[in-house]
Amino acid sequence: MTAEQTTRRSAALGGAAAVLLPRHPGTPADADLRERLGEFRALLVISLLMTESVNEDQILELAASSAPGLGPWRIEGYSFTDGQWHSAIDGAAAAPRGLAGQLATLGSMGGVVDLPGRAWAWAYPLRGVGGLLGHLVASCEEELTAEQRFLVQVIAQQTGVAVSNARLHARERATAAELAATNEALAATVSSLRRSMDIHQRLTQVAVSGEGQPGIAKALHELTGMPVAIEDRYGNLTAWAGPGKPDPYPKESFAKREHLLRRLTRASSPTREGERILLLASPRTDVLGVLALIDPERRADHADLVALEHGATVLSMELARLRGIADAELRLRRDLVHDLLAGTDDESALTRAEALDYDLRRPHRVVIVEGKGRARAHDALLSAVRRAMRQARQDGLFETWSGNVAVVTAGQTDWEQLRRAIMSDLGGQVCVGVGGTAARPSELPRSLREAGLAMRLQKTLLPGNSACEYPRLGIFRMLAAIPDLSDVDSFVREWLGSLLDYDARRKAELVHTLTQYLEHGGNYDATAAELSVHKSTLKYRLQRIRELTGLELNDPDVHFNLQLATRAWGTLQALHEES
């Protein structure tokens, strides 16, 4: 209620009261009646003002400010059932000490309370529609008459009713606001669902109509209003829809593209990259393509991202269909690799390779990749080898072979770097063996045997865990090429027989310890690190070797023969594993 409305209301009530007052007051009784009517007039005005107010604080202020005009008493404050205290005295924020306990004892009936320095103090219940709201606490420096206490009681009753109405109005306003917010949210949800249905229907139509990648790009452009690009995994543009097509289309370097694909794979959700929002189409472990919204103004909303996700799903289905066709060719390639490794004639191998558009007339070699730990899973290892070969810009034919991955390739690269790339991709440990060059397809089984032997020698004899190339094996190649190994075996028994027997009886590793010691040039620190043992343990083993063999390891001739014997022993072990 405004100040002007309050003034008009008071004037109207004053006029009504004037009609009730005697026109010619003269007796004391008339004066008393006139005083009583004035008090009732004030009560009526206050009651109407509080009833029409929807502000609880304003109601409490009206009640407190009315007290001085109705008698010598005052309102100390209001105590509500939720524990809150609203003081009506300036500068007194807290309730008088001990008042809360007194009010709890009085309950809903109210009654006398004890306030320091006040001759009279009373707590009147504030009642609303729902029951007790709290208490109005009034006080005076002297005892009040019955008429004065009646006025305080009426003020308390009207305050309770007005506060109850104000709270009811507040709840209604909150309910109305909540309902409006709910309706707004519901309307937004309906709109979002309707657009999602439109997106789903449009892209489903594209999927079943066989419009291919151009149709997917066009539909997504119509749904979002933004240009759309579809790229293969290497960054080549396969479809575009919308204005602003770059010419020529930009293409990242191989390294940057692979880094981007790895980041998108980890994100697995729409990802902004500069002016574009990207999402992978990867129905399998290999990435088949990338779907991009061109959004330089950054205006894409949630619905646009939903459309992008639906589009990526449809694109994945389309690329999976195309991949299915390619899989048939892949099976033919695997069959060819299997036959090449097992042994086949040159003419049929060349004919089948030409049908697959692969040049087998170049010299090739076989590379064997073995995984350990997490790298042991065949499919994951095969995919990692393919990715590493692509990264090294090498082509080839791939196949799983005896639990490992075999690669028939005409390329020559840093094989240790390839091994590290596979390990970085998969985790775990990876061994790589590289066979010699085969001039004709029929010679590939020999390259396969060499690759396997190189890998086994690396694990058995050679220090470290680097890739091992058969052409660089030196003495090991010569030993492996001997047709009759009986003399080699006799030589090994002559020099290592006592150690081999000891290892067999005790399940020890003296021969392996001696091998690493000799391969590391007698360096204690390097040998202990390779064997993962303490130097004191290594010294004990070497002393035991001297005792069992009766040989002095520092003697040059002994050193030479022992190293030759350990290498021959490792070669025999590798050949026995092969057989």
Amino acid in position 417: Q
409 forms beta bridges with 365
Q: What letter would DSSP give residue 109?
A: G
447 belongs to a structural domain: yes
All residues at 6 or more sequence positions from 378 whose CB lies less than 8 Å from its CB, including other chains: 400, 403, 405
Taking the C-alpha atoms of residue 350 and residue 223, their distance in angstroms, rounded to an integer, is: 50
Residues 407-422 pLDDT 10s: 999 988 889 999 999 9
pLDDT of residue 271: 92
Do 411 and 301 lie in one domain? The reply is no
Whether 15 is covered by a domain: the verdict is no
Q: What does the pLDDT look like over 302-318, one tens digit per residue?
A: 888 988 988 888 888 88
Same-domain check for residues 446 and 359: yes
Residue 36: pLDDT band (50, 70, 90) is: low
127 and 165 both lie in a single domain: yes
**At 136, which amino acid appears?**
L
Task: State residue 290 phi and psi, 5-degree precision.
Answer: -135, 130
In whole numbers, what is the pLDDT of the chain averaged over residues? Answer: 85
Task: Specify the CATH number for the domain of residue 432.
Answer: 3.30.70.270
Question: Dihedral through CA 281, CA 283, CA 286, CA 289, nearest 10?
Answer: -20
> 360 and 461: one domain?
yes
Q: Which pLDDT band, with edges at 50, 70 and 90, does 462 fall under?
A: low
Question: What pLDDT is attached to residue 434?
Answer: 94
Q: What is the 3-state secondary structure of 372-413?
A: EHHHHCHHHHHHHHHHHHHHCCCCCEEEEECCEEEEEECCCC
Q: Is residue 417 part of a domain?
A: yes
List the domain range (segments joined by +) for residue 257. Answer: 210-323
Q: What number is the average pLDDT over the span 172-180?
A: 93
Q: What is the 3-state secondary structure (H, E, C) of 533-555?
A: CCHHHHHHHHHHHHHHHCCCCCC
| Distance of alpha carbon 505 from alpha carbon 498, whole angstroms | 11
pLDDT value at residue 346? 92
Mean pLDDT (whole number) for 394-412: 90
Same domain, 165 and 279: no
What is the per-residue pLDDT across 52-80, written as a single tens digit (0 to 9) for each? 888 888 888 988 888 888 889 999 899 89
CATH number at residue 244: 3.30.450.40
Say whether pLDDT at 461 is over 90.
Answer: no
Cis omega (within 30 of 0) for bond into 125 = no
Reply yes or no on whether the pLDDT at 121 is more than 50.
yes
d(Cα 399, Cα 419) in Å, to the nearest integer?
17
Which residue carries 């007039």 as its tokens? Answer: 41
Model pLDDT, residue 28: 60
Residue 579's pLDDT is: 59
**Where does the pLDDT of residue 8 fall: very low under 50, low under 70, confident under 90, or very high at 90 and above?**
very low
**Residues 80 and 163 both lie in one domain:** yes
Tokens standing for residue 544: 């035991």
Residues 6+ apart with CB under 8 A from 539: 524
pTM of the model: 0.43
Q: Which helix (H) or strand (E) holds 329?
A: helix 302-342
Confidence (pLDDT) at 375: 54
Rounded to whole angstroms, the Cα distance separating 44 from 22 reads 19
166 and 226 in a common domain: no
Mean pLDDT lowest among 211-220, 265-274, 457-466, 482-491:
457-466
Taking the C-alpha atoms of residue 395 and residue 412, their distance in angstroms, rounded to an integer, is: 10
Under the banding of pLDDT at 50, 70 and 90, the label for residue 530 is confident
Query: Is 18 part of a structural domain of the chain?
Result: no
* 348 and 302 housed in the same domain: no
Whether 278 maps to a domain, the answer reads yes
d(CA 210, CA 214): 10
